[in-house]
Every structure is written in C-alpha cells, then in structure tokens.
Structure 1
Amino acid sequence: MTATALNLWVALALTLVVVIASARQLRGGGMRRGRAWGVIALQIIAALLLYFCLAPPSRHQPAAGLVVLGIDADKAGTLPASEGPLLLLPEAAAVPGAQRVPDLATALRQHPASTLTLVGAGLPARDRDAVLPPDGRWQSTPAPRGWMALQAPADVAPGARFEVLAQARGVAKAKAELLDPADSVVDRATLGDDGRVQLSGVARAAGRSVFRLRLLDAEGHVVDTVPVPQQTLAATPLRLQVRASAPGPELKYLRRWATDAGITMQVQADTGAGLSVGDGAVPLEATALARSDLLVLDERSLAALSGAQFAAMRQALREGLGVLVRSAGAPSASTRQRLRELGLPLQGDGSSHAIDLPGDGESTMLAARRGPLASGTLPTRDGEDADRSSHSASLPTLEALALQVPAGSALLHDRDGNAVGGWRGIGKGRIGQLPVTDSWRWVLAGRDDRHGELWSGVVATLARAQVGGDALWSPRAITWKGERQTLCGVQAPLQAFNPNGEAVPLIVDGGAAGARCAGWWPREAGWQRLQHGERTVWRYVFDAGDAPSLHRQAMLDATTQALAAAAPVTRPAMQSVPGSRWPWWLAFVLCASLLWWLERRR
C-alpha cells in the first residue's frame, strides 16, 4: 500500500470517529446546544491535529548527494563521502551500514538527490533507462584487459571469405588467432599499435557455426577468448554474361569457378572471321541485360560494341546491372573513351608489372582454411596429382597492368595494401575494372580456393544488388543473454522461440512506429531462432561468462552514454521530506486535554 492510500484510510477512519462522537453529543441532551457544538468543534480540531501527527505536511529542501555502489565497487578505490545514504545495487558486495535497493530507479525514487555518484564497473542493462539526476558522477573500475570490441562477420555464401574485426586492450605485443569449430587455427595476425586486428576465414557449407577469437600475449599465453558467430547462407544464383575478344585460360577457369559456385554463366569468345565459341551469341539488348546480374567484358570487346549495344549497356548499368572490364592487354584510346563515357576514367600507361596478393599466412593454417580434404592427395582438375598438404601458404605472383581508377573504390589490395583495380557506382549499378590478367595461374598452382575467393569478391562487389532476406536490424551489434535487445524493421508478425520450442510473440513498440521496433529478452545463449512472417531468422546470443571483458566494456560504454545523456545542471534539485511532528503532537495533547477536562467537569 502506498503512503497516499494509507493516509486516505487514516483520514476516513478519523472522520468516522468524529461523526459518531458528534452524533452522540447531539443526541445526549445533557448539554446545552451551543456548548455541544463547541465540543464538536474541538473534536474536529483534535482529529485534524491527530491526522497531521501521523502524516505531517511535507516540506521542500535541496536534495542531498547520493552514492550508489554497483558491480565491483570494491575495486574502484576509496568510497566518496556523501550526506545521503549509501545504497547497494543487487550486484554489489555487502558494505556495513549500506542499504540494499532492488534497482537504480527505486533508489532515486526513494532518495531524491541533486547529485549521483556511481561507484563500480557501470550500470547493468536493467538500470540504463533510469532518469538520472542532472549532476551524475562515476567512479569507475580499471578498464578490462582483453577483447574490448568485436565486429562479427557478415553472412556470406558458401566458399566465400569472411572478415572478423576486433580490438584488444592491456596486452603488449599481442597476437590474435581465429579458430574454427574444430579448434584448428585458420588465421593469425599481430595486433596493431591501437590494438586492432583483422582476421579472415573461409565459409563452408550453408549453416551456422561458432568460431573462436583468441588473444595471446608476448609469451603465447591465452589472455582472452570470445566466440565469433558465422552464418553461411545459400546464395541466390547469379546470372553472368561474358563477352571476350578471344578464348583463353582466364575464361576457362572462370567458367569452372562459376559452375562450382552455382552461377549461371553465358560466354561468347570471338575467334575471328565472324566466328565465336562458347554458349552462342550473348545478346546485348535491354531485355537480356535486365535479366542479367553482371556483364563481363575485356577491353577489346568493349571497344567493339556497336552504338546501340553500348547505349543499352549504359542504360542497364544505371538501372542496376553490374559491369566488369577485365584486362587482357593494354586498353586502347577508344576503350578509355568508352570507359569515360560510362563514368569510369582510367589513369596509367597500362604497362605490365608483377603483383603479390595477400597469402594465407603460415602454411600450418592452410589445411584448416581449405577444409577437411586439405590433408589428402587429390587430383587437380587437369588430372595431375597434387599433394595439397605440401603447398606453402604463399601465392604465385600475378601479372597486372598499371591502371588506376581515380576517386574510386578498390576491388583488391596487394600484399602492401595498395589498391588493385577499382569501381564506381553509376545510378543503381556499379562498374569496375580489374587489371589482373592471369589469375588462372593460381588454379594451376593448386590454389583454386584462392582463385574462387578472388572472383567471388569481385562478383559480389559489382553484381546487381539482390533483395535482402533478413530485414531485421538492431541498434546494438551484439545481443547478450538476459538483456533486452531491440529488433527494428519488423514488417510482419515476429516470434521468438524459447528453449522448449514454444513461440513467444514480440510486440512492436507503438512509440517507434516509423522504425517498427520490438523488444526481445533472450534467456539462452547460442543461436536462437526467430520467425519473421514466413521467414526464419537466426540471431546469436552472447553469454557474459563466455566473453567477460567484451561484456564489461559494453557496460562501460553504455554507462558513459547514459551519464552523458542526463540533463545539464540548471538549478539545485529539490526533494520533499516529511515535516516535524512534535508541534502537532503538542497541539493535539492540549486539545485532547481540554476535551477531557470538559468531559470530567460535566
């Protein structure tokens, strides 16, 4: 029962007592009418005085400071002095003389304060929405040692490379290792001066898996480990149109890669005298280009296009078609002119030079990256035996032409981080230029996996944008077990499944109608299934126990944002406190004594 409701019941009880006593005075008949009304007035006054004794009127005074202890408050140094009470959140260790509160909002409601001093590692998710006082201070614990940021890989297609970005703190000369679900190291790198690192792996069959990111110190001891969720989705089959001025090994192995990747590919390679080999004539007209996702040309086939074909290709490019101009030789003046008309000017003399693209690191990680068949001796596509375990992690040098796309984005990067090729967005589509002439050498060297990764990245960058299958997005990149996660972009009924397999509907917040967001409280860690209309969506839920440093850093960041969002100090906060009771008690005793005297005198 609230204080207001209790005061109301007290007032009703006192009123009932006064009414009964007044009725007895009026019906008694032993007292003159004027004197009876005088006694009734004294009874009313006594009842009012008794009410104010029990519930004295409140008065306003400047609010005192409040100290709240949270997680690991004992590691934050000496507790600050405060005029107000010392309060403990549920996660805080016991302190003599401190009062335990269920949450921060309850503490602020029971003890209004002008200043709040939070001591500990930060606010848990339960307390981040509390309305904080205008003057908020934070006595924090030392920053955690280990992983402090993680960007999980995006969903990729089978056989594609995925990237993992992370940042660590507190470890000198540290290294990072990416381990696959079988605990085999697939990539290793040294952290930069800022603690950042980028690792990569290769996706296998469609499905969901959990890699692990391990942080090692200078002596090779494991400092911290976090899970890295990775989801591989079966990609929508792409449609490629390829026109070449002559057949060659680049087309041969490009077709083999496309067949293995499930890509529909139509090739036309001219042989001279009006003849061509491949899959027949590749029509370059509006209807055929609208059904294609990527058009691949070399410099001579681009220059040989008729005016109508070139106009149709340019219009299709603006409507979303991807165009790739691969190098088979130095571009002519007419080729450069047509590229300028398409919005992709080239710089450079087109001279030939060798380039080294990034390898796979140590040879001991090569088998893990290539999958379970890496340890066996398998025939190559040309029938030659190749012991895959004997190959080193280095890649053969390729030939490239000295061509650059000014103010464009890079298609590839060499071992030194220099851009190789480039692309630009034109309308809804993209056009790019790849100056590498002999990527097929990787296949002959037994590295068809890296050949596929190269072309998979190029095609994924330039091909027509596909309709995304998962429209849900979240303001927070990482979902934690037991903490509220916001899912936005809900355009259909959304359900989450509990550990028993029962569907729990998630309600869209009416206050965020534009973003259409719903709240989700996952109770289990790992991959969790959501049903968004007719589509099944998977989300990985992190457990704070599996990534303590990462969770602690997320709590520090969220607490910093909550304190920064508090209103600035404008005037001292006021709090309502009960007034003194003794004047009311004294007046009540005097009035009650007068009533007793009158009764005894009578």
Structure 2
Amino acid sequence: MDTQRILLGLLAFAVITATARLLWFAWRGAPETRPRGWRVVLLALLQLASAVLLYHTLLPPPVATGIDALVVATANAPRDIARTLTSHEKLVALPEAPAISEAEPVPDLGTALRRHPETARIRIIGDGLVARDRDHLRGMSATYQPTPLPRGLIDLSAPSRLQAGTDFHVSGRVNGMARAQVELLDPAGQRVDRQPLDRNGRFDLLGAVRTPGLVEFRIRLNDPSGRQADTATIPLSVYSPATVRVLMLAGAPDGELKYLRRWAVDAGVRMHAQIELGGGMQLGDAPVALNAATLKNFDVVVVDERTWGGTGAARRNALADAVRSGLGLLVRIDGPLSPASRNALAALGLRLNAANLPAAFKLPVSKEDDEFAATRLGPGTSDAPTAKTAAVTALPELTRQPLRIDDPNATSWLRDSEGRPLAAWRALGRGRIGTWLPMDTFQLVLVGRDDLHSTLWSDAIAAVARARAANELPVPADARAGTRTALCGLADGATVTPAGGQPKPLLIDPATGIARCAGLWPTAPGWHVLSSGEASASFYVRGKNELPGIAAREMREATSLLTLAPGQVAATSATALGSRWPWFLAWLLVSAVLWWLERSRLGRAAAAH
C-alpha cells in the first residue's frame, strides 16, 4: 500500500472517530445541557476541513510545469521545426540533426533528459534515434514523426559468406523511382544480371562466385533514362568447400558415370569408384569392404540400381546402419528397378512405385539471362575456351525411369519442367537416404552446359552428405564505421585488424557470460579480419555515410518500436508537487477556529437556574 492511501485512511479514521464522539456526547447529554444543532454541525465541518487541509499540507496537489514535452530533432529534421512548438514544449537537437538556431544542442538524449528532468513526453522528428539514444527512450511516453524516406535504395539483402561455385541472390527495395532498373556487376565491372523494379519497388538479382577469396560485387540503380541514381557494394567472403568423400558403386560403366567422375575431379570431390565389369573384374579404385569401419570414412555412398539389386542383405544392413549414424546414401536409378529392390528401399523408408510417366523430360527453364549464364560458365581455359553461344543453346531433353516417389516424408530438391519430382531424400536416423531418377544428365556437358551439370550433382551430393559441425567465427553482416557492433564467441587475446592497419585487441565484457562478447567501434570502412584463438574470419565495414536510405529506414523502424503508434496521444503531462505553505496556513487557521469553538460556550445550552 502506498503512502497516499495510508495517510488518507488514517485521516478518514480520525475524522469519523471524532465526529462519532461529538454526536454521541450530544445525544447522551441531558436535554437542558445539549448543545445547539448548528454548533454540532459546525464542529463536524471544521474537523473535516482540518483533515482535508492537513492531507494537502503533507501531500500537496501536483501543478503543471513549464515544459510538458521535449521535442527531439534528429537527422534530416525540418529546419523550421520551431514553428510547430507549443508553449509547453522544449526543442533540443541531437548531433545528427541539421543546424537549427532555436534548438538547444545536446550530445545525446540522456543529457537532454538530465537537463530537463520535468519532461513527461518526448516528440521525435526526423530519421529517428541512433543506437546511442534508444535505451534512454525505454519507459518514456514518446511519439515519432518520421521524415519521408530518401529516393533510392532503402532495403538490401545479400549473403556475406558463401561457398565457391555457388549462386547467390541479392534482393532489396527502392523508394521513389518507378520504372527504374537494377543491375548486378561483378568485381570486374561486368554486368551479371539486371531486372526492372516491380510495382512495389522490389528486385531480386542472381549472381555466382567461382573462386575463393574476398570479392566485392556492386549494385547499380539506373533511372528510366539509364543514368546511375544509386549504387551499393555487395561484399562477399568466398570460402573453399570442404572436401566431400564419396564412394561410387556401379554395376557397369556408362556415359553418366564417366562425366560424373570428371565432375568430381573438377569440383574437388574425393571420389573412390568401384565399377563392376562382370566375371569378378572391376574398374576404378581398389575394392573396399562395406562395413562400419570403412563407411565412416565416407560422407556419401552413391550406388546404381544394379549394385543395389545385387547387394546382399548383410551389406544393405551395413549401409543402413551407417546411414543411421550420419552417412548419406544416394541410389541412382538408371535402369529397371526390380520389385525386390523397391522393397529394399521401402524398408529404409523410401517408396518408389511404377507410374505411367513419359521417359523424356526437360529441366525447368531458368529465369537467368544470357549474361548470368555466361558468368556461370566462365571463360573456360586456354585449351578449351567456353563458346560464346553455349549460354543460349537450348537444353536437351533428358530421360528418366518411369517411377513415382510416393513418400510423404521425402523432400524433393529437383523437379522437371512439369513439377514432377526427379530426386528426393528423407531422413534415416542421423543421416539421409535419397534417390536419383535422371539417367543421362551428361548430355548437358555435350551441349556446353557443364555448369548446369555441375550444379545438378553439387546439389545432389549436398542434399544427402554427412553433416559436419560448423567451425567458423561469427562475424557481423552489417557493420558500419562509427557505429558499435558486437563480436561474440571470442577467445582470450582476440583481435581485429582493419585493412592496412595494426591488430587491435578486443576487451571481452564479463557481463556477457559464456557468450564472450566484445564491442567494436570501427573507424574506417573496408575489410577487417577477426582473429580468435587459431581461427580467423573476414568481415566488411561500410562507410559512415554509405547507403543513407537503408540507414534511415533502419533508424525509423528501430525508433518506431519504442514509441507510440501513429496518431496515438500520450495521456501524461509534466507536473510537480505544489507548495505546502498555503495549505499549512489554511490548516493552521481552521485548527485554531476549531480549538476556540470547542472551548467556548457559544451554542451551548444555558445553565439551569
């Protein structure tokens, strides 16, 4: 119970008790000694007035102060903001705000609140509060009047780290530029992809990286006349893929197997191949036994339907146990699959049934343009250059087995142009088992699209391969010069090295506990290297004034989360306790009158003669 309620209860009890006592003695007295009625009523009213005045003396009513709201000017606030102020508002300007002569400059919002402790409401105008000031807004009644977003890029999403040889998407949103076009340029300045903005100003561009390293792509925004209106750097840290260990088991040599082994060499996949020729003869590498000790040295086992059908129960059980322990198993179906082989797959949870499906199929038509296809193909080599027409060559029809994947728990990663699944996997213990229905993807290589052939098989191996624990340092994806960023998961002695600079030690905050985080205020843009223990990782720091539209949108969203909804008016007002002296003097006067009246004979009955 608070002090106000306790005091109010005590005074009410005192008034009720005193009034009851007054009435009791007036009623119990002899008729000739009873006081007159007006005296009793006046005494009761004076007692009540004395109690009310004492209450206000101890807790005087609040009175309005001179300042009701603090108006905070942030970046891009209107210079004539002072014209909108009322008599109970005080204007302050943060360092990001433009020069406003009528505003009181403050270094941060916390200082402004300390200078004006009577502030009850805050009105923010401009782009919003930077991270430095947002914590001071918590618990305050605040409204926000954002300025219009600038023309140009206001949203951008792109990966910061990816594996060499993979595609990536760059998406975003543009404000105030209808019928504009966005282009993605590679580090050499060559256009990789371009796209007009949709009706909401959004875009989604496609790029590809081929070799490891630190690269910088670039987004270029062109207005309807073709002139550059905005640009943005897309920094990418490209790493080499981990070596995948594949055991290839085939019942006979064929074209698909030939080009698959060639792809493995080009992609850096460590493949151990065993190809049966019949009569106990084999091609490829030395035979290995299918047991737990051998299979734990591989990430994926690829078998064709001949090998799967001719494998005994013991070897299948060894494969199944290895899959449950994390191994990936991919069954290539490039010939008729016997009922016994289908039952063996069904026993592992992957159901395939015969279906009336056409043998020929086409891959889905990609949305990529010729420029992006040429980027994926690359220039080739000096002895085997890529033909300029390879990217525009029509894709050939491929063939498949007329089987349908009937497992509701299976996930398909490849479909034909009609949407029918061509490859799917499902979980089995800690590993995955998958099936592959296309029989002649090597035809893509024959027409010059070895990039598509590589993508198909890279996706297939990645879909079922043994999972490996990630062992990389977490780095920020949106660091900006002059803005604090957090680095976590650090070891003792961790450092950050800016481009062309010296290593700077990082001080781990003990309050972060096992997260082991440290704050970093980068001062220069460009690539930085985080070193922690024996690990290191690179991250990019954008310039302080880079991408102003995106910075404005982020500040607007962060500030809006801490303020009242648009149009909502804060109900509080700036008040302070009033003066006690007027109430004390009034109480003293009333108490004196009450004391005199209680002791005087005024209004008492006349004494009996």
TM-score clears 0.5: yes
Return the offset for 1:277.
2.1
Return the offset for 1:79.
4.0
Return the offset for 1:544.
4.5
- Asked if structure 1 preserves the Cα contact closer than 8 Å seen for 2:121 and 2:570, the reply is no
1:391 and 2:390 equivalent? yes
Return the offset for 1:527.
1.1
Return the offset for 1:210.
0.4
- Asked if structure 1 preserves the Cα contact closer than 8 Å seen for 2:164 and 2:238, the reply is yes
Larger radius of gyration: 2
Matched residue type, 1:451: H
Matched residue type, 1:354: F
1:363 counterpart residue number: 370
2:329 counterpart residue number: 323
Q: How does 1:382-461 map to 2 (within 5 A)?
A: 388-397=387-396, 398-401=398-401, 403-404=404-405, 406-412=408-414, 420-461=422-463
Structure with greater contact order relative to length (CA < 8 Å, sep ≥ 6): 2
- Asked if structure 2 preserves the Cα contact closer than 8 Å seen for 1:481 and 1:524, the reply is yes
Whole-Å separation in 2 of the counterparts to 1:365 and 1:269:
37
Structure 1 unaligned spans of 5+: 1-57, 380-385, 582-602
SS at match of 1:388: coil
Return the offset for 1:115.
1.6
Return the offset for 1:132.
3.4
SS at match of 2:516: coil
Deviation string 1:329-362 (CA, Å, 9 cap, x unpaired) is: 3544333333333233346726423122444733
1:116 to 118, 122, 140: 122
Q: How does 1:40-189 map to 2 (within 5 A)?
A: 64-74=68-78, 79=84, 81=86, 83-112=88-117, 113-153=119-159, 155-189=161-195
Deviation string 1:543-597 (CA, Å, 9 cap, x unpaired) is: 24332222222222222334379xx99984767699899xxxxxxxxxxxxxxxx
* Pair 1:170–1:65, CA change in 2 (3 A): same
Answer with 286-295 or 127-136: which moved more: 127-136
SS at match of 2:240: coil
Q: How does 1:117-516 map to 2 (within 5 A)?
A: 117-153=123-159, 155-192=161-198, 194-346=200-352, 349=355, 351-359=358-366, 361-371=368-378, 373=379, 378-379=383-384, 388-397=387-396, 398-401=398-401, 403-404=404-405, 406-412=408-414, 420-474=422-476, 477-498=477-498, 501-516=501-516
Matched residue type, 2:342: R
Matched residue type, 1:90: P
- Asked if structure 2 preserves the Cα contact closer than 8 Å seen for 1:188 and 1:361, the reply is no
SS at match of 2:189: coil
Return the offset for 1:128.
2.4
TM-score by length of 2: 0.75
Return the offset for 1:103.
0.9
Matched residue type, 1:250: E
- Asked if structure 2 preserves the Cα contact closer than 8 Å seen for 1:498 and 1:523, the reply is no
* Pair 1:576–1:86, CA change in 2 (3 A): same
Whole-Å separation in 1 of the counterparts to 2:279 and 2:341:
21
* Pair 1:400–1:507, CA change in 2 (3 A): farther
TM-score by length of 1: 0.76
Whole-Å separation in 1 of the counterparts to 2:319 and 2:412:
23
Return the offset for 1:256.
1.0
SS at match of 1:159: coil
Deviation string 1:158-195 (CA, Å, 9 cap, x unpaired) is: 33333334344444345432210111011234455555
Percent identity among equivalent residues?
35
Deviation string 1:248-292 (CA, Å, 9 cap, x unpaired) is: 111111111111222210112223344332213343211111110
Return the offset for 1:156.
3.4
* Pair 1:223–1:462, CA change in 2 (3 A): farther
CA RMSD of aligned residues (A): 3.4
* Pair 1:262–1:377, CA change in 2 (3 A): closer
2:588 counterpart residue number: none
SS at match of 2:256: helix
Return the offset for 1:208.
0.5
- Asked if structure 1 preserves the Cα contact closer than 8 Å seen for 2:498 and 2:527, the reply is no
1:17 counterpart residue number: none
Matched residue type, 1:64: D
- Asked if structure 2 preserves the Cα contact closer than 8 Å seen for 1:395 and 1:442, the reply is no
- Asked if structure 1 preserves the Cα contact closer than 8 Å seen for 2:290 and 2:319, the reply is yes
